[in-house]
Amino acid sequence: MKYAIIFSFAFFFMGISVYGDSVDDTPEDTGGNDNKNQSKIYVLPSLSYNYISFDKYKLHDISGMLTLFHFNPAEKGKVSSVTLAYSPQIAAKIDYDFPNLFHNASLSVMHKIDRHIITGAFSAMTEKPLYGGSRTFMGMAGYLYNLVNGEHFSMNLGVTLLVMDIGITMNNGTPWLIWPLPMFNLSWDYEWISFGVIPGVKMTIGPKFPVSIVAKTVTGGYDAALWYRYFKDKDPANELLGMAVGFKKETSDVMISDGGKYGINYNSLYGSLRLFKFLELSGGWTFDGKEEYEKITKDSILGFAGFSKESKYISNVGGGYFFSISFKMNM
């Protein structure tokens, strides 16, 4: 987990720009001939609420997201999207004085022209709304090229420029803000297995069968579950009911205005019930919860390479339970 400190923002918003606004899921023209050449805007809202309870910590996490897709059926090689997201996290703690309210806000855009994909994003994750200092926000602009686009395999390669203050300065004390990074995503899709790197890893064994195994990784965490799904007319696109049991590690990190990274991580055993692909209820037990704080400096970033690290605060907050409800509109 400590090795992901530098670019946790970057990977998160690469995921939103590339994966959340999936460039491969181009909407299909389902209208009649009269509407064939008309541009369409798809409005896709999502909303979720999570309550997480530990022995020494209670967390309310509310997330809202709105994605707008613009698409013209006469120009299937072009698609654009804009995504707005906001998530307040409200914590009730017993024995520590970190802020009780954090704000995660973001704006991301994507424009695809044939094999060319342009992405951009702005994010702020801090205890202050929108802006808590240069250490608490990130900007990103990226370009991807669809190098391979086969029936079962696709791959995009590109580069992204990050604007991000991670505590490294030049000789005159000016923060070093520009960070070029390679960017890529790829996917395999077969009847019995699908696999993607976008930029986290997601694998599904049996994606088109009633019983499947789904595993994915994100920055600092993972999720693996056994799913049973009921399809209408045996078509996975017409999922009516889904049930799962799984195990996951969750992390929740924000940058505080003093330049430190604060977060909580925990493991959980859970069950989920999904109805019609857009409503999901989950709940289970949490354990091994930890509250962490680390001052981000050049030494802490390069600590894995032999540099000394700033002191790091870790507190065990115990275990408990959680439940969540989420709604997501799909095309």
> What is the SS3 string spanning 186-207?
EEEECCCEEEEECCCEEEEECC
Q: State the pLDDT at residue 22.
A: 41
Q: Rounded to whole angstroms, how far apart are CA atoms 176 and 158?
A: 22
Look up residue 229 and give its amino acid.
R
Q: State the pLDDT at residue 90.
A: 84
Is the model's pLDDT at 89 over the cut of 90?
A: no
Least confident of 69-78, 195-204, 207-216, 319-328: 69-78
Cα angle: 61, vertex 124, 144; to 5 degrees: 110
User: What confidence tier does 317 reach under pLDDT thresholds 50, 70, 90?
Assistant: confident
Higher-scoring residue by pLDDT: 20, 106: 106
Q: Rounded to whole angstroms, how far apart are CA atoms 48 and 61?
A: 8
pTM (global) more than 0.85 = no
Helices (H), the chain: 8-14, 298-301
Contact 161, 178 (CB under 8 A): yes
| Digit-coded pLDDT (tens) for 119-176 | 999 988 877 766 666 777 788 999 999 999 888 899 999 999 988 777 677 777 777 8
User: What confidence tier does 316 reach under pLDDT thresholds 50, 70, 90?
Assistant: confident
Q: Rounded to whole angstroms, how far apart are CA atoms 5 and 279?
A: 33
User: What confidence tier does 23 reach under pLDDT thresholds 50, 70, 90?
Assistant: very low
174: which residues sit within 8 A by CB, 6+ positions away?
A: none
Mean pLDDT across 238-244 = 90
Determine the structural domain holding residue 301 and report its residue range. Answer: 2-328
Is the model's pLDDT at 301 over the cut of 60?
A: no
Measured in residues, the chain has a length of 331
Q: How many structural domains are present in the chain? A: 1
